[in-house]
Amino acid sequence: MEDRTALVTGAAGGIGAATARALAAEGIRVAAVDVAEDRLAAEAARLRAGGLPVTAFPADVTDAGRVEATVAAVEHELGPIGLLVNAAGVLRTGPALDLGDADWSSTFAVNTTGVMHVSRAVVSRMVPRRRGAVVTVASNAGFVARQGMAAYGASKAAAIMFTKSLALEVARYGIRCNVVAPGSTDTPMLRGMWAGGDGASVTIGGDPDAYKVGIPLRKIADPSDIADAVVFLLSDRAGHITMHDLTVDGGATLGA
């Protein structure tokens, strides 16, 4: 995968930052995109200080015009984008009947519409080059019901199906699109859901009252675990894989 350019959204932290780091370690030029400009700049600077080719491009994936301009800037500065990772995401929790319109709209704006904006801008440029690979980072909540996560799960389910449908349409051009569906991963998003100091043990052990099994591997994923799966699906080693949904959750969804 050397001498290619990758665009990674949500790259200021968590899974997005881990993926940017993993791709750059493979010799790939990485355009790191995130709406959190200060955190993105700090993360990119830290990676560059380690000798990794990462450049920050602040952008809001919910803004179609900004996305198009950013993608154009990346191609001008770093070269044709051959790899795309849609890792930007937000979480709004709460009972489905209590969800406000703003929470619902903002969740879909980033997790679903943002995926469409970035994929459209990048893949439309891949088509005439007849080459490229896309991975959307979704969630196992996109196909297994979770209490208090109706908006998040629905948005991820939509992102999964958008990515697979896009994959079907662009397969004739040699472009592959796949999904990585993480489970509980040690990120600020997960830690923000923990009510007390025993959040990790509860996550691993499960919650029968919420109809949620635990994690059979008895551990929470590190962001690098998810990044490794993303890098594999982007690589030529996965050259005959498309429209696939790779679940990385330690068995939490029991193979569903």
Residues belonging to the active site: 152
Positive or negative CA dihedral for 48, 50, 52, 56? negative
45: how many CB neighbours lie within 10 A of its CB? Answer: 12
Q: Which residues contact 8 (CB under 8 A, 6 or more apart)?
A: 16, 19, 20, 23, 30, 31, 32, 33, 84, 85, 87
Contacts 24+ apart (CB under 8 A), 173-176: 173/126, 173/127, 173/130, 173/131, 174/130, 174/131, 174/132, 175/123, 175/126, 175/127, 175/130, 175/131, 175/132, 175/133, 175/134, 176/132, 176/133, 176/134, 176/233, 176/238, 176/239, 176/241, 176/242
Nearest-angstrom CA–CA distance, 30 and 19: 10
Which helix (H) or strand (E) segment holds residue 83: the answer is: strand 81-86
